[in-house]
Amino acid sequence: MTSPVPRLELSGITKRFPGVLANDNVGFAVLPGEIHALLGENGAGKSTLVKMIYGIMQPDAGSITWNGQPITVANPKAARKLGIGMVFQHFSLFDALTVLENIALGIDEKIPARELETRIRGIMDQYGLKLDPHRVVTTLSVGERQRIEIVRALLLKPKLLIMDEPTSVLTPQEVEQLFVVLRKLAAEGCSILYISHKLHEIKALCDTATILRGGKLVDTCDPKQETSRSMAEKMIGAGLKDIVKAGNRSMGAPRYQVRNLNFRSDAQFGTSLEAISFDVRAGEIFGIAGVAGNGQNELLLALDGEVTVAAEAVAIDGKPVGALLASDRRRLGLCAVPEERHGHAAVPDFSLSDNTVLTARDRLRMVTGGLIKAGAAKTYTGEVITAFAVKALGPAATAGSLSGGNLQKYIMGREILQKPSVLVVSQPTWGVDAGAATAIHQAIVDLAAAGSAIVAISQDLDELLSLCDTMAVINGGRLSQKLNVGEVSIEEIGLLMGGVHGTAEETHIAPGAAHAVTA
């Protein structure tokens, strides 16, 4: 019996950038109807490889074969014409337009609106993707927005669908719905190239996994025959460390107190906050789960002082700080990491040293008499780079020159090494690989063990369940009751994330052991 001709085959793919060999002689094949994972730590070369497949950039060497025929993918339009579709991690949608209008803008073919709507409804019926074509995007959940991207890709009748971190902002229920769609597509012969750092998903969904490390192919394996740990260790080329928490941990007095915090968002598509209340004790890691767009960004701004609220609404060690700005709260012991890396947590065109001065100048006394101590900033930045294994050409490298994962490691390290009494962080391991995520989690645990109060806002349930002591769910700008991790089920959290408020009894779900999945 002859082997099937690969839908996509790469051979000897090499891509260089100044000072970096992103892909080094990479080759693998994706078969028709196969769900094929592409794995690797940050900087392994996954994004560069996918961009070449989709025609965003060209390889310096090597060949791409499509259904047995050598091809050159000149640009994304040429990729789509071949039958290659891509769903990016960050959606490219216009909030003020309808589902139908967004899809029309994102396809190459000019189709009359009525005919396009008929096609969209046909695809949604075929794959069970419930969506009203006339809904305005701003009224949709993140899971529903992702369906727009998927429907847009499926209009092409793709032979190959590339998905980049597709479940990073979905509830557990939405993840299961997505997997149903992907399995049906594969059964119909569509090949899927699936990129994710969630290795338990790879085991559950994928037929084959190609693993990159340092731009090179290190293994192709059957993920169902591997463990999450074994795949993670192949990615990093070393043993994966476990998060170590002291067995006799005890919590101190409340260090960070939020009482009846209300905030009305003036942004066109913002979410207002209503009566948010919680305490975080010294030594405690408190997680806030939720689907993106439910008030997380507004909450971070209110917690770190980028917007002011009633003075008594936020307190550090009993001192009201709600009316204080971010710089004043930092002087009192608070450090913070926002979700958006570029432009918010870091200035892309500034060096890492200059970015360090922006947040550490007061706590680490990097400015005296209005003059910046460049040597102190450089030394501290070097310590961050070393401690958090940041791949960068030293403290003088610009933030924009780092990969997303490496910039995340730098930003987290910059704040954690300041040893704040309160750390508020949104998406602490956004876009980082398993090894780096474990290192960041351990640093957070160690900071808490030293007496800091930690607030971790994340859309990654596995992260919160493995890292936190307590947690709550934010939905529509309201916060659920505080839950003890280990006494709550993923199903209950998923319902709360989806907008079902109340206790487990009210939602008819019996609390059970949390199903935290660790590598």
pLDDT in single tens digits along all 519 residues of the chain: 567 899 999 999 999 988 789 999 999 999 999 999 999 887 788 889 999 999 999 999 999 999 999 999 999 999 999 999 988 766 778 888 999 999 998 888 888 999 999 999 998 888 888 889 999 988 776 678 888 888 888 888 899 999 887 876 666 777 888 899 899 999 999 999 999 888 888 999 999 999 999 899 999 999 999 998 899 889 888 777 777 787 777 889 999 999 999 999 887 667 899 999 999 999 999 999 987 778 888 999 999 999 999 999 999 999 999 999 999 999 999 999 998 887 889 999 999 999 999 999 988 999 888 899 999 999 999 999 999 989 888 999 999 888 777 899 999 999 999 999 999 999 898 877 778 888 899 999 999 999 999 999 988 888 898 899 999 999 889 999 999 998 888 878 878 887 654 433 343 333 333 333 333
Q: What is the pLDDT of residue 140?
A: 79
Quote the Cα angle for 222-178-116, to 5°: 125
**What CATH homologous superfamily does 249-333+421-519 map to?**
P-loop containing nucleotide triphosphate hydrolases (3.40.50.300)
Can you give the residue ranges of every domain in the chain?
Answer: 8-236, 249-333+421-519, 342-419
Give the whole-angstrom CA distance, residue 141 versus residue 476.
Answer: 11
Nearest to 386 by CA among 394, 398, 374, 397: 394
**What CATH homologous superfamily does 8-236 map to?**
P-loop containing nucleotide triphosphate hydrolases (3.40.50.300)
The DSSP bridge pattern shows strands 20-30 and 8-17 to be antiparallel
Give the whole-angstrom CA distance, residue 301 versus residue 263.
Answer: 10
Give the whole-angstrom CA distance, residue 200 versus residue 170.
Answer: 15
Quote the Cα angle for 292-206-287, to 5°: 30
Residues 6+ apart with CB under 8 A from 186: 33, 34, 35, 192
Residues 6+ apart with CB under 8 A from 360: 366, 377, 380, 414, 418
The DSSP output letter for 39 is E
Nearest to 483 by CA among 502, 474, 470, 493: 470
Give the whole-angstrom CA distance, residue 495 versus residue 475.
Answer: 10
On whether the pTM is more than 0.75, the answer is no
What are the tens digits of pLDDT across the range 460-515?
Answer: 888 898 899 999 999 889 999 999 998 888 878 878 887 654 433 343 333 333 33
Q: What is the pLDDT of residue 501?
A: 47
Residues 6+ apart with CB under 8 A from 467: 243, 285, 287, 441, 444, 445, 456
Q: What is the pLDDT of residue 519?
A: 30
What are the tens digits of pLDDT across the range 267-293?
Answer: 766 789 999 999 999 999 999 998 777
180 backbone dihedrals φ, ψ, rounded to 5° = -60, -45
Instruction: Quickly list DSSP for 316-364.
Output: ETTEE-TTS-HHHHHHTTEEEE-S-TBTTTB-TTSBHHHHHHHHHTTTT
150, amino acid identity: I
